[in-house]
Amino acid sequence: MLRRACWVGFTATALWAAAPFAQAADPPQAVAEEDVQVQRSGQSFTVDLSFYAPVPPAQAWAVLTDFEHMPEFLPNLTSSHAHKISDTELKVSQTGVAKYGVFSANFESIREITLMPETEIHAHGVGGNLQHLESVMHLHPEGSGTKLVYHVEALAGFWFPPLIGPSLVRHDTAAQFSAMVREMLRRRGLATL
pLDDT in tens, 21-34: 333 345 567 899 99
As a whole number, mean pLDDT of residues 40-68 equals 95
29 φ, ψ (degrees, to nearest 5): -95, 130
Strand partners, 137: 121, 150
Amino acid at 37: Q
Domain ranges of the chain: 9-188
As a whole number, mean pLDDT of residues 44-65 equals 96
15 within 8 A of 123, measured Cβ to Cβ: yes
Query: Cβ contacts of residue 158 below 8 Å, gap of 6+?
Result: 105, 107, 129
Tell me the pTM.
Answer: 0.82
Residue 176's nearest CA partner among 46, 17, 58 is 17
pLDDT in tens, 84-96: 999 999 999 999 9
Residues shown for the chain: 193
The domain 9-188 is placed in CATH, from the list 3.40.50.1000, 3.30.530.20, 2.60.40.720, 3.30.390.10, at: 3.30.530.20
pLDDT band at 100 (very low <50, low <70, confident <90, very high): low
The pLDDT value recorded for residue 191 is 59
